[in-house]
Structure 1
Amino acid sequence: MTVRTFRVGDRVVRRLGFGAMHLPTAPAAARGNAVAVARRAVELGVTLIDTAHLYGWGANEELLAEALHPYPEDLLIATKVGVAPPDPPREAAVCGRPELLRDQVEQALRRLRVPRLELVQLHRVDPDVPLADQLGALREMQAAGKIGHIGLSEVTVGQLTEARRIVDVVSVQNRYNLLDREHEPVLESCAAAGIAFLAWRPVHPAVSAVTTGITAVAAELGATAAQVSLAWLLARAPVVLPIPGTASLAHLAENVAAAELELTGEHLRRLDARGPAGGTG
């Protein structure tokens, strides 16, 4: 039986979460649907939602507040900071300057309408700023009561190891799915340390291709290829928290239902044998 919950810091969440990146914030009709999808996710039992300053430069955070505030007590909203918006001719870029990180945290507090952000993840490690300075800024805001827990995104094992010498890391958000296991070593490190591994892009674009073999397992279970892919992630390790995203109510229901799909040992052996497709996307 697959374990369906995991403790992230001091919060217990259901392992199958929701990625809010694809929720449109405009125009009005699309925004109304996005609000409905966010609300339906919570109604269906989702207790982990992922967003970021990068997603609409704060508009995604505002959308979640419009849809869900005041938040259910068991809902954990994770946001990310560390990407500077475009300032022509400069394009958007990774930026870990402490002053920018502090400003984006303050903006998130206002946009999400909360006194404390329960989980803030460094969106990317800025190679031009010492990691101790980047995480130090977040640690200072944590000490001030503005951040509950600190996580990372798209990191290597070496970066995770270095970060854990500086702060208590409760989560890592890396790209990972059945056909793309580039970050397998990072997942293994998280599993060994009991750190939540938020798998983004949890369903590879190629899962519906007949050549993957996933469709055969899906047909046997009366499920979709996407559901099989999500169920595989949930069976992969207890620390894995997939965060599929969608702007479709029907697709949302399909994703959430994957948490109830039980793969047999034979199914898992067949799926594991497909092997990773390598770093795509």
Structure 2
Amino acid sequence: MTATEFLIGKERRVRRLGFGAMHLSTEPGPARDSSLAVARRAVELGVTLVDTAHLYGGGANEQLLAEALHPYPDELLVTTKVGVARTGPDGEWRLDGRPAVLRDQVEQALRRLRVERIELLQLHRIDPETPLADQLGTLRELRDEGKVGRIGLSEVTADELDRARRIVDVASVQNRYNLLDREHEPVLAACEAAGIAFLPWRPVAWGESGQRSEVAAVAAEAGATPSQIALAWLLGHSPVVLPIPGTARIAHLEENLAAEGVELSPAQRERLDGLCESPGDGTAP
């Protein structure tokens, strides 16, 4: 039986199947009301890991989650990401890991999420123009000040993860990864060896017609949907994988969370293992 929980940072227990809030609309009106309902339904259904970021609406997504869920249940961990800012020449989004920017985004997140400490803060991307030691050193200082509980990374290579771990304790990695896209398999292997949580973004994706047909065939055999098969495969692939599928619809949310009850046979898993488009060399886009 696949384990349904994981200890992030070896101490914070969460349900492995979480929720990504990126797709929730923050514009006033019916769409926002629906977003609030989806977030609340996720927690009602037992989700204890919700993912957001400063990039998602410049903090509007964080604000939406606070409106929907605050005061938060003790078991709920809302993780956010910093390090992408509107500091380009014409005000466009760009990677920005300068210490002052990271500090400001963390302070904004604390206010928007209505918390005194962000239990898991992830660096959205490594800024190539700022020394890694400065970026992670700032996050470490924020942790030491009690404003951050644990530190994670996003979209890193195995080498970058190794270098980061020499600077700070890394509790999580959030990379693109799914049944058909396993470019970051070396990163997942490194996370598994170290007991680091691996949060795959875009956990459900579809390839060529033959691959889609094979997934659909396994879904029919298992009495599940193709999306549930993709999520069930992830949960069984490694004990450190914590998928965070996102949706703006309650029906889709419920479908995703039901994937936890889908059991794949060894033969089905072997067929799915063979569908990989990109086995991975550890490089990030």
The TM-score range, normalised by the shorter chain, is over 0.9
Alpha-carbon distance, 1:277 to partner: 4.5
Identity of aligned residues (%): 66
Question: Taking structure 1 as reference, are residues 253 and 144 closer, same or farther at Cα in structure 2, changes over 3 Å only?
Answer: same
In structure 2, distance between residues paired with 1:277 and 1:219: 25
Residue of structure 1 equivalent to 2:192: 191
In structure 2, distance between residues paired with 1:122 and 1:86: 17
Corresponding letter in the other structure for 1:274:
L
Alpha-carbon distance, 1:275 to partner: 1.9
Equivalent pairs, count? 280
Residue of structure 1 equivalent to 2:104: 103
Residue of structure 2 equivalent to 1:172: 173
| TM-score w.r.t. length of structure 2 | 0.95
* 8 Å contact from structure 2 (residues 179, 230) kept in 1: yes
In structure 2, distance between residues paired with 1:161 and 1:277: 22
Q: What is the SS of the residue equivalent to 2:242? A: strand
Residue of structure 2 equivalent to 1:250: 251
In structure 2, distance between residues paired with 1:211 and 1:144: 49
Question: After superposition, what is the alpha-carbon deviation per residue over 1:43-79, rounded to whole angstroms, capped at 9, x for unaligned?
Answer: 1111000000000000000000000000000001110
Question: After superposition, what is the alpha-carbon deviation per residue over 1:157-209, rounded to whole angstroms, capped at 9, x for unaligned?
Answer: 111001101110000000000000000000000000000000100001438x4
**Is 1:51 aligned to residue 52 of structure 2?**
yes
Q: What is the SS of the residue equivalent to 1:242? A: coil
Alpha-carbon distance, 1:210 to partner: 5.1
Residue of structure 1 equivalent to 2:163: 162
Alpha-carbon distance, 1:274 to partner: 1.2
In structure 1, distance between residues paired with 2:177 and 2:90: 33
Residue of structure 2 equivalent to 1:237: 238
What does 1:22-171 align with in structure 2 at a 5 Å threshold? 22-85=23-86, 89-171=90-172
* 8 Å contact from structure 1 (residues 132, 166) kept in 2: yes
Q: What is the SS of the residue equivalent to 1:239? A: coil
Question: After superposition, what is the alpha-carbon deviation per residue over 1:86-133, rounded to whole angstroms, capped at 9, x for unaligned?
Answer: 566242100000000000000000000000000000000001111000
In structure 2, distance between residues paired with 1:3 and 1:94: 36
| TM-score w.r.t. length of structure 1 | 0.96
Question: Taking structure 1 as reference, are residues 251 and 206 closer, same or farther at Cα in structure 2, changes over 3 Å only?
Answer: farther
Residue of structure 1 equivalent to 2:261: 260
- Give the alignment's Cα RMSD to 1 decimal: 1.6
* 8 Å contact from structure 1 (residues 54, 85) kept in 2: no
Question: Taking structure 1 as reference, are residues 163 and 87 closer, same or farther at Cα in structure 2, changes over 3 Å only?
Answer: closer
In structure 2, distance between residues paired with 1:78 and 1:123: 11
Give unpaired runs (5+ residues) of structure 1. none
Give unpaired runs (5+ residues) of structure 2. none
* 8 Å contact from structure 1 (residues 117, 147) kept in 2: yes
Which stretches of structure 1, 4 residues or more, deviate above 6 A after TM superposition?
278-281
In structure 1, distance between residues paired with 2:179 and 2:211: 14
